[in-house]
Amino acid sequence: MLIFHDGATLDDQDSLLEGDYPDRRMVYFHSLDDVAAKQPRLEAAIREWVAIRDAQGAEAETGH
């Protein structure tokens, strides 16, 4: 299982992320084959999540 804190802000059109929580979404893996099958979508979600977090950090540093 992988938890994306603030994952509710991600654009998850292919339903990789699970859960309906206001502050997180999860990805569940059932085998290494499942990890491999989800890899492209997972990598895209991680890139988007990091970009969002970086932007939030920049806003906090500049006060904007």
Model pTM?
A: 0.77
Q: What's the total number of domains in the chain?
A: 1
List pLDDT tens digits, range 7-50: 788 888 888 999 989 889 999 999 999 999 999 999 999 999 99
Q: Range of 53's domain?
A: 2-62
Asked whether 4 and 26 are in contact (CB, 8 A), the reply is yes
Question: Can you spell out the DSSP letters for 1-64?
Answer: -EEEETGGGS--TT--SB---SSEEEE--SSHHHHHHHHHHHHHHHHHHHHHHHHHHHHHHHT-
Nearest partner of 38 among 15, 61, 6, judged by Cα: 15
Structure token digits, residue 33 = 């084959």
